[in-house]
Amino acid sequence: MSSAAKGRPRRGSRWFLWVLFLVVIAGGATAVVVVRRGAGGGSAGQVKQLLFEAKRGPLNISVSESGTIKSREQIILKNEVEGRTTILFLIPEGTKVKEGELLVELDASKFEDSKVDQEIRVQNAEADFIRSRENLAVTKNQAQSDIDKAELAFRFAKEDLVQYKEGEFPKQEKEIVAKITLAEEEIQRAEETAKWSRVLFGEKYLSQSELQGDELTTKRKKLELELAQGNLALLRDFTYKRRIAEMESDIKQAEMALERVTRKASADVVQAEAQLRARESEFSRQKDKLAKIGEQIKKTRIVAPAEGLVVYATSAKASWRGNSEPLDEGQDVRERQELIYLPTASLFMAEIKVHESNLDKISLGMPARITVDALPGKTYTASVAKIAPLPDAQSMFMNPDLKIYRTQLHVDGGGGELRTGMNCRAEIGVASYGDTVYVPVQAVLRVNGVPTVFIAQEDAEPIQRQVEVGLDNNRMVRIAKGLELGEKVMLTPPLSAASTGVNTSAWVADAAKEAGTTPPVGKAKATSKGAGKGGAPGKPGAQEGKARKGAPGAGRPDFRSMTPEQREAMRKRFENMTPEQRAALRKKYGGGGGRPQGGARPGGGGE
């Protein structure tokens, strides 16, 4: 934003403050002229005071505000399609539709294309899921087979050890021992044979070769015995121990192999199961996406869920900025955007905006009367159903000093005549007094924070009397104590410093203090001196509720007693104030908070 653009609101604010400043000065000067004319004696040019004779009788207290008729119950149809879509068909506004009738059709072309692609993804995901499911079955089968094979090898290894210890080794040992035994016997026989052969050789019965053959047989048998004995020692000392160690190692290796196979089989099964779950989740996700696309396609056709009257959301919620485009075919709409309202034709309510000054008057359940501009002569009964807890944000944005609260009144009947959007006026019944004293609200003002009236006297100064006020209806205010029937009160009470007491001096003193100057003491004293001319104030009774915080002239500064420097300081002070500070200043010095001048504040009290 440019500097020139930034400066425009500031200059506008200064212009407004200058106008306000000049109006206040002009109002004070005019009030002084009127009061001086009224207090000038019995001259022919004297302005005649307006008087009102206090009356006693019935007094109805009510709050009247304008508003709009709305349906108490309505169906809000929103765009539930993701992203931004284009309206292809839109039913005319004001059409009465039946349940199931097409209201809006949105562009679904992008979802149709996405649906085809998604169907392919679903098929691929389904194939992967089936493959993973079968792979899991194969993995489980293979794992069981591997485990069984490893268990068998482990069992065989243990059996081989037992077989060797209890079968094979004893057998081999016996065979060698048998050979040794036979060899020893054969050696003995061979030696005897050789012995006799030598005897026979000596007697020339055997030849040399035959003797040598018998001796050779003896040597062979001895060698066979030594060989058998060596085999037995080898078997016992080496072969047996080695085979035992090998078989024990085979058993351990088979046991470890069984453990490895078992763990691997378990891991393979877990991996296959995880893969199956992942494929299943992916398959499910793709199916959900396909179903979601199908739902999006269905949501492009918005049908009436019930019978009703078509109202465009852009018409029902027109923006105060005026930049809201009306709903129409070809327009792009966003997700969750309200499109159509279908109000029911049987239950209605009136929505009004209640000013903060009247907020303490109304409460839930209070009766009300509704009149509709389009239906003259007809009145509907209603009751207060809801009061907003916070001020209306839109009104606060337009005017930060204006605080209004949205209030809903439930209307009884009117289903065949009332229509949403009709202008109406609501009158909420706050209280009703059968017999009470009342005067116009402009006859009461606050003097030093106390409600006061000025009672006119013939050929004498008016009497200033404090009263106790009750509720008002913006026209008449109830006088609970301090005023009798028939007493005449001034409708234009004095607006000079005499009616405000020390408030004017305080205002001027504050402004002078902020400007660094000294207020004109003499004029302020003269102003305060006249405070007692109105007569002794009446003794007020117990305060009845809240009363208006300000009245015309009450607490206004006497600009006539200011120097130019003090007025310049006052102007700068107004410029630097926030809206909240201005409201607080008006409240402090009886400015009335922006309410109509004169009289007690509406809703200022009650019983």
User: Would you list the DSSP string of 537-602?
Assistant: PPPP-S--S---S--TTTT---GGG--HHHHHHHHHHHHH--HHHHHHHHHHTT-GGGPPSSSSPT
Do 192 and 318 lie in a common domain?
no
Q: Which of 67, 68, 55, 66 is nearest to 475 (CA)?
A: 55
Q: Taking a C-beta distance cutoff of 8 angstroms, is the pair 546, 603 a contact?
A: yes
Give CA–CA dist 107/384, Å, rounded.
Answer: 44
Query: Is the residue at 590 inside a domain?
Result: yes
The predicted pLDDT at position 204 comes to: 76
Helix axes 503-515 and 521-529, enclosed angle (nearest 10): 170
Q: Do the Cβ atoms of 80 and 299 come closer than 8 Å?
A: yes
User: Is 50 within the bounds of a domain?
Assistant: yes
Q: Dump pLDDT digits (tens) for 146-169.
A: 999 999 999 999 999 999 889 988
Assign residue 160 the CATH number of its domain: 1.10.287
**Cα gap 20→586, rounded to integer Å:** 13
* Res 394: pLDDT: 84
User: Does residue 520 share a domain with residue 538?
Assistant: yes
Q: Calculate the alpha carbon distances from 592 to 492, 548, 549, 585, 598 in Å.
A: 16, 7, 6, 10, 9
Query: Which of 181 and 104 is assigned the larger pLDDT?
Result: 104
- Whether 402 is covered by a domain: the verdict is no
CATH code, domain with 544: 2.40.420.20
Residue 171, domain member (yes or no): yes
Q: Residue 349 falls within a domain, yes or no? A: no
Q: Average pLDDT in the 312-330 region?
A: 72
**Arithmetic mean of pLDDT, 120-130:** 96
Same domain, 123 and 99: no
Cβ-contact 224, 183 below 8 angstroms: yes
Do 178 and 291 fall into the same domain?
yes
Tokens (6 digits) for 506: 């305080």
Examine the pLDDT at 547 and tell me if it is beyond 60: no
The model's confidence at residue 599, banded by pLDDT at 50, 70 and 90, is very low
Task: Using the 3D structure, point to which of 299, 327, 353 is the last residue of a domain.
Answer: 299
Contact yes or no for 383/367 (Cβ under 8 A)? yes
> Does residue 310 share a domain with residue 228?
no
In a domain, 407, yes or no: no
- 274 and 126 within one domain: yes
Amino acid identity at 181: T
Domain termination residue (choose one: 282, 315, 342):
342
Q: Is 156 exposed, middle or buried (0-12, 13-18, 19+ CB in 10 A)?
A: middle
Residue 9's pLDDT is: 40
pLDDT score of 88 more than 80 = yes
Question: Is 299's pLDDT higher than 70?
Answer: yes
For residues 508 and 587, membership in a common domain is answered with yes
CATH number for the domain including 309?
2.40.50
Q: Is residue 352 a part of any domain in this protein?
A: no
User: Could you tell me if 93 and 162 lie in one domain?
Assistant: no
Q: Which structural domain, as residue segments, surrounds residue 84?
A: 79-105+302-342
User: In the numeric block, which tokens belong to residue 564?
Assistant: 């130019």
Domain assignment present for residue 66? The answer is no
The answer to whether residues 94 and 120 belong to one domain is: no
Q: Are residues 491 and 582 in the same domain?
A: yes
Tens-place pLDDT, residues 451-496:
999 999 888 888 899 999 988 888 899 999 999 898 999 988 776 5
Q: How far apart are CA 377 and CA 436, in angstroms?
A: 31
**What confidence score (pLDDT) does residue 558 get?**
52
**Are 48 and 85 members of one domain?**
no
The string of pLDDT tens digits covering residues 197-238 is: 888 878 877 788 887 887 888 888 888 888 888 888 998 899
Same domain for 187 and 326:
no
- Enclosing H/E stretch for 489: strand 488-490
Indicate whether 510 pLDDT > 60.
no
**Quick one: pLDDT at residue 574?**
64
Which are the contacts of 435, defined by CB distance < 8 A and separation ≥ 6?
A: 56, 57, 58
- Calculate what percentage of the chain has a pLDDT beyond 90: 42
* pLDDT tens profile 360-403: 889 999 999 999 999 998 999 999 999 999 999 888 888 888 89
Domain boundary among 299, 317, 333: 299
**How many domains does the structure of the chain reveal?**
3
Per-residue pLDDT at 512 exceeds 50: no
* Three-point CA angle 102, 70, 80, nearest 5°: 35
How many residues does this entry show for the chain?
607
74: left (phi over 0), alpha (psi -120 to 50) or beta: beta
Burial level of 344, CB count in 10 A (0-12/13-18/19+)?
A: middle
